[in-house]
């Protein structure tokens, strides 16, 4: 069986290194090359513990486009401004592109405010498929996939079916989410050192986090006629003193007649035929049940005043590299569980 050759650009970061391991273990994929400025010239297998020959080495990130003909697909585990510059070159060469950054998740006008740069490839924004398969379907073959952020993945899985089912109002939505420190990427600053993170819990990027418009935009895609007003979302991210895992607790205003049974049934029906999303009682949506897997646990409850919807995911898998592989599987019309169904959670 011939294998699809996949390049990983930015392979020494947390999400990039997980993507390399997933590709190496995948029965239909082969690692074409991996890039890293930090590890250029060093063995990929030595650093990432994959099944690769130790002779396969990291190339510098600047060599990625020059080596594009060596691959058929690419996963970009790079900063948004880098992905914005690199993705068009791979797409123009007919390569399948899955971008883990936020470079293709928003409208062009939003980038100066939320990302701090003008978007230089606006034509690709309309072509990009927002890659949350359980909510927005399969990406077309050969497409550019904007892999959702980890916080939006959890928030949207918890809230979108309730909004689509007209069980909650479009205004007054609050997303309170907490992630392990790998969600911030490899950071060398004091704020992410062990002494600063351990035994602590803190919010960051309050009212300025780039995932706020992404969550609102994703929810707006499921709003049907008859639901008035734009989506009103307040999102706050928090840093947990753990390595990986993410929990999003979401609050919304219920519509008339909504109760716990209706919101629970809505989530159960929405995800009954999905491979990776499990509807559970909200108290069972726990980080320890999903870390190490591509699973999402979602649950909801309600009273007359509020709906509470909770989602738990592994931020590096369903929130990043695992979902990227899920999208690659979908683009090539393979079972979406291929290469992901044997992952095991890392806690008891």
Instruction: Select which of 71, 150, 250, 266 is catalytic.
Output: 150
Apex CA 244: angle with CA 239 and CA 247, to 5°? 65
SS3 31: strand
The helix (run of H) or strand (run of E) holding residue 215 is helix 211-220
Identify whether 150 is a catalytic site residue: yes
Residue with tokens 């003193």: 241
The span from the CA of 71 to the CA of 218, in Å, is: 31
Residue with tokens 């273990």: 25
The span from the CA of 231 to the CA of 319, in Å, is: 22
Provide long-range contacts, Cβ within 8 A and 24+ apart, for 205-210: 205/237, 206/236, 207/236, 208/114, 209/151, 209/235, 209/236, 209/237, 210/102, 210/114, 210/115, 210/149
What would you measure as the largest C-alpha separation in the chain, in angstroms?
63
Sheet architecture: strand order including 4-9? 58-59, 29-35, 4-9, 73-76, 96-99, 144-146, 129-130
The helix (run of H) or strand (run of E) holding residue 158 is helix 150-164
Phi, psi of 56 (to 5 degrees): -75, 120
The span from the CA of 104 to the CA of 50, in Å, is: 30
In 10 A of CB 347, how many CB atoms? 11
Q: What is the DSSP letter of 326?
A: H
Catalytic residues: 150
């Amino acid at each position: 069986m011939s294998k699809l050759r996949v390049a990983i650009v930015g392979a020494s970061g947390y999400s990039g290194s997980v993507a390399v391991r997933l590709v190496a273990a995948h029965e239909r994929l082969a690692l074409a090359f991996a890039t890293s400025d930090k590890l250029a010239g060093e063995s990929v297998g030595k650093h990432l513990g994959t099944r690769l020959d130790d002779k396969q080495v990291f190339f510098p990130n600047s060599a990625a486009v020059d080596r594009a003909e060596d691959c058929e697909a690419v996963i970009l585990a790079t900063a948004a401004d880098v992905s914005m510059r690199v993705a068009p070159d791979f797409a123009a060469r007919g390569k399948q592109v899955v971008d883990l950054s936020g470079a293709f998740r928003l409208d062009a006008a939003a980038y100066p405010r939320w990302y701090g740069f003008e978007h230089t490839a606006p034509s690709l924004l309309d072509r990009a498929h927002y890659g949350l398969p359980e909510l927005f379907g399969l990406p077309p073959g050969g497409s550019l996939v904007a892999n959702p952020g980890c916080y939006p993945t959890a928030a949207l899985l918890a809230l979108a079916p309730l909004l689509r089912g007209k069980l909650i109002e479009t205004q007054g939505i609050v997303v309170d989410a907490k992630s392990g420190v790998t969600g911030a990427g490899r950071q060398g600053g004091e704020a992410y050192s062990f002494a600063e993170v351990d035994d602590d819990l803190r919010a960051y990027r309050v009212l300025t986090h780039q995932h706020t418009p992404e969550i609102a935009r994703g929810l707006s895609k499921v709003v049907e006629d008859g639901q008035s007003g734009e989506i009103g979302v307040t999102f706050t991210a928090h840093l947990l003193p753990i390595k990986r895992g993410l929990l999003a607790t979401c609050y919304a205003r219920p519509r008339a007649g909504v109760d716990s049974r209706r919101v629970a049934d809505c989530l159960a029906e929405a995800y009954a035929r999905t491979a990776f999303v499990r509807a559970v009682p909200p108290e069972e949506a726990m980080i320890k049940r999903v870390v190490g897997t591509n699973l999402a646990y979602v649950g909801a409850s309600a009273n007359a005043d509020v709906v509470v919807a909770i989602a738990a995911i592994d931020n590096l898998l369903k929130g990043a590299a695992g979902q990227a592989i899920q999208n690659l599987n979908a683009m090539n019309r393979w079972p979406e569980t291929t290469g992901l169904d044997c992952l095991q959670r890392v806690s008891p």
